[in-house]
Amino acid sequence: MSNGDVSTVLRDGSDEREQVDRLDQKDNFTIPVAERVLRLPPYLFGKINEIKYKKRRAGVDIIDLGMGNPTDPPDPQIVEKLCEAVQDPRNHRYSASAGILNLRREVAVQYDRRHGVKLDPHTEVIATIGSKEGFSHMCLAMLGPGDTCIVPAPSFPIHVYSPALASANVLQIDVTKPDFFLSEISHICDTLYPKPKIVIVNFPHNPSSTTIEKDFYVDLVRLAKKYQFYVLSDFAYADIFYDGYVPPSFLAVPGAKEVGVEFTTMSKGYNMAGWRIGYCVGNKEMVKALATIKGYYDYGIFQAIQIASIIALRHAEHARLAMSAEYQMRRDVLVNGLRKGGWEIDPPRAGMFVWAKIPQYWREKMGSIDLAMKLLEEAAVAASPGRGFGPSGEDYLRLAIVENEQRLKQAVRQINRCLKVEPAVQT
């Protein structure tokens, strides 16, 4: 065959064009995605989101308590600094994937001021594209086939599926009783071989709003050293707390930096969710491993956002505390209103979610997914079904307190009206 021929004879002797024609005629041509994608379950919140958007396009006023997506704007000085930084042509270049040094220095200053934790901004701090990205890539840096990871249950999906996407095994432990969580870690480490490599903690917890005291971390660090596992602390909701409670940092415990890292974000307390900026701090070898992964995957956060974040950390503490006080008032509105409707709720001490136990009548009648669908269809209120966070969440709904007080009062009225149970008629 001459070099000028377009067709090529394949190994089976057929013509390449004939092969293409046969492929085109197949009815069920599929893309063979990676096994890690096949391990992911269907997204349980997808149907609710689809209906929510459809109703909004039809003009229905949906009160969205389903997602922890702040509706309040950042402090004006943060936005002003962003606008100023955007005007500088130098800020439109690629940035360092680890984050600019001045931001990492400010994070270190903040940790020292708030938690009494000393950090080296050169080796123990890295900026991330929100805490979720950093957390996911840390799992990729630390876990692989054959490794085991312990995660809290009920589980925020990223805590389960980041290790799974890294091809690790996942063990879930009920975290709503922190002492039980610690005892189960010890039991698993004594009986499982090979021992777990990573333990994930998340306090204030999403979705259950469970909180702990500093002694919990003292025991966790002791276990980590005894059994040689590492700790990933998701501290995303640390900026929002109530009634005098202050969430402790994992890194504030002596020895914590030897065994783990902590992830924090600007999304919640500073209302910068869409800006996608957070940071990972702690063990320098783990931070280095994350930096290695990020060096291959991204070119860092837009530098103007990093510069504005420095201003947020340095000058917007009053706004963060005011936002926390605002969330406390919203919490009280939602909790007190739902209690009048027969809901069983422990007011959270921190975080932006109310973990509401479904009234018994409705628990016996339908699951949390069906109840969330009912509220969306009949009450125009979006909520996250507890089943979306694993089997242990089945009897609950997660309600985000992101709307203002008037909207929350309206949501309570619509929920209680929708779920009102009429007394049985006596005959």
Query: What's residue 35's pLDDT?
Result: 83
| pLDDT: which is higher, 392 or 31 | 392
pLDDT above 70 covers a percentage of the chain that reads 91
Query: What's residue 50's pLDDT?
Result: 86
Whether the per-residue pLDDT at 414 is higher than 80: the answer is yes
Average pLDDT, the chain: 91
Helices 76-86 & 303-315 angle (0-180, nearest 10): 150
* Residue range 44-53: mean pLDDT, rounded: 79
* Residue range 52-72: mean pLDDT, rounded: 92
CA dist., res. 114 & res. 215, Å (int): 18
pLDDT-derived band at 38 (thresholds 50, 70, 90) equals confident
Whether the per-residue pLDDT at 30 is higher than 90: the answer is no
Query: What's residue 36's pLDDT?
Result: 83
Query: What's residue 237's pLDDT?
Result: 96
| pLDDT: which is higher, 22 or 327 | 327
* Residue range 368-388: mean pLDDT, rounded: 95
Query: What's residue 28's pLDDT?
Result: 65
Nearest to 148 by CA among 189, 94, 97: 189
What is 46-73+318-418's CATH topology? Aspartate Aminotransferase, domain 1 (3.90.1150)
pLDDT digits (tens, 9 = 90+) for 145-169: 999 999 999 999 999 999 999 999 9
Whether the per-residue pLDDT at 45 is higher than 80: the answer is no
Query: What's residue 325's pLDDT?
Result: 96
pLDDT digits (tens, 9 = 90+) for 343-366: 989 999 999 999 999 999 999 999
Nearest to 257 by CA among 426, 110, 119: 119
pLDDT digits (tens, 9 = 90+) for 277-298: 999 999 999 999 999 999 999 9
CA dist., res. 389 & res. 155, Å (int): 5
pLDDT-derived band at 12 (thresholds 50, 70, 90) equals very low
Specify the amino acid at residue 13: G
Whether the per-residue pLDDT at 238 is higher than 50: the answer is yes
Under a CB-based contact definition with an 8 Å cutoff, are residues 210 and 392 in contact?
A: no
pLDDT digits (tens, 9 = 90+) for 175-226: 999 999 999 999 999 999 999 999 999 999 999 999 999 999 999 999 999 9
Q: Where in the chain is the domain with CATH 3.90.1150.10?
A: 46-73+318-418
pLDDT-derived band at 315 (thresholds 50, 70, 90) equals very high
Q: Where in the chain is the domain with CATH 3.40.640.10?
A: 91-315
Helical segments of 192-239, H only: 214-227
Listing DSSP states for 340-404 in one string gives HTT-B-PPPSBSSEEEEEPPHHHHHH--HHHHHHHIIIII-EE-EEGGGG-GGGTTEEEEE--S-
CATH 1.10.357.10 fits 91-315, yes or no: no
Whether the per-residue pLDDT at 2 is higher than 80: the answer is no
Query: What's residue 370's pLDDT?
Result: 94
